Chain A
């Protein structure tokens, strides 16, 4: 799994490529946590390159989502593939995390100057 961070102040876009499973989720958790600890709590996670995620990946997203919202920010998903969307829906994540068709829409969803 590869993670690329692109700062679009005040938003950080993390592009994930590969599979988020119990072998790789720790890396995702660390990358998200690093952003939060750096004070970056408006996150967009680009899932266009993720072919599947297990509950380990969902837990990683959930932890970061809670931290971001507690600090006044949010974590938003972009470009989720159908197979991954199925897992998100079955786990109830589709109702608690905001999702957008692409990164541009996800970035634009944050209020300007917030």
Chain B
């Protein structure tokens, strides 16, 4: 049963189309805005995405760009749905990375045909190749692994990010304890970014880059996690680590997350990125964005 992610903010359209798709035998997952759509595309692993383009927050074009920029969701076909039947909307949708385009109100038979074409693409016809002598090429040299993904800065993005960290751990052969350490680090840093980098109700995105480090191309000596956002600067090191020897009633509630990050990684660098901008009206200048780099050695 193909799984369809329907990203649609209009409740009436959403209910009607999802009900019709379920009747046709599809499993339908619902997202009500662009951010939730991007998050669910990573965690629900749909076979196809039906993307309304006029969405609150980030619109369908931006959501599609995020999906196609992420190696984990790039291959999922996106079929754009828009009320506008203008030819430049089709061009705009395709430029954003959509795989096909349809207009609303939905003509179900036409939509199903387009969905079927995306779900079951025909392999290209290839000319018969002349027989080649079999070559005994040298086995490919293993490479240290690296990946990155860009997700909305919301808790619903965590499962997709956790899956990427799992893959990093699997490929590096990390122990269960090391894996758990990195899961905590991921969670703490993301929680800080979600809370501090963006204004409530207006989350942006966070980029997670993962890579193995080491001179030996086959056995990583360390793993690196870097987090980049474009939000307002915040300093996770500003809050002192809690004194864990204090009795229960005297224990501060804050600072625990970054204390764990310090303990569970071996090095940590923190910097602000983005352009320096000055506001001539009030004389203040501000840097935009944060970058946090963490390394865990595996020896």
Contacts and interface: CB of A to CB of B under 8 A. Distances in A.
- A-B interaction: yes
A3 B77 CA distance: 36
A22 B180 contact: no
Contact of B184 (A54, A65, A66, A82): A54
B27 to A, nearest CB: 22
Interface stretch (B200-208, B250-258, B278-286, B287-295): B250-258
Given A56-B191, A92-B245, A96-B247, A83 B180 contact: yes
Mostly, the A contact residues are helix
B166 to A, nearest CB: 11
A35 interface: no
Interface string B152-189: 00011011001000000000000011011101100110
Nearest to B257: A55
A58 B179 CA distance: 19
A47 interface: no
Interface residues of A, number: 26
Nearest to A56: B191
B177 A83 contact: yes
A23 B244 contact: no
A21 interface: yes
B242 interface: yes
Contact of B251 (A19, A22, A96): A96
Contacts of B61: none
Interface residues of B, number: 32
A36 interface: no
Interface in B217-269: 242, 244-249, 251, 253, 256-257, 259-260, 263-264
B7 interface: no
B194 interface: yes
Contacts of B179: 83
Contacts of A62: 248, 251, 253
A21 B187 contact: yes
A86 B177 CA distance: 8
A58 B256 contact: yes
A17 interface: no
B191 A59 contact: no
B190 interface: yes
Contacts of B159: 23
Interface in B6-59: none
Interface in A84-114: 84, 86-87, 90-92, 95-96
Given A59-B253, A62-B251, A86-B180, A54 B187 contact: yes
A87 B176 CA distance: 13
Nearest to B178: A83
Contact of B264 (A21, A53, A58, A90): A90
B265 to A, nearest CB: 12
Interface of A: 19, 21-23, 51-56, 58-59, 62, 65-66, 69, 82-84, 86-87, 90-92, 95-96
6 contacts: A52-B180, A54-B191, A55-B260, A59-B256, A83-B179, A92-B251
The 6 A-B pairs with the shortest beta carbon distances in the complex, nearest first, are A92-B244, A83-B180, A54-B187, A55-B257, A22-B191, A55-B256
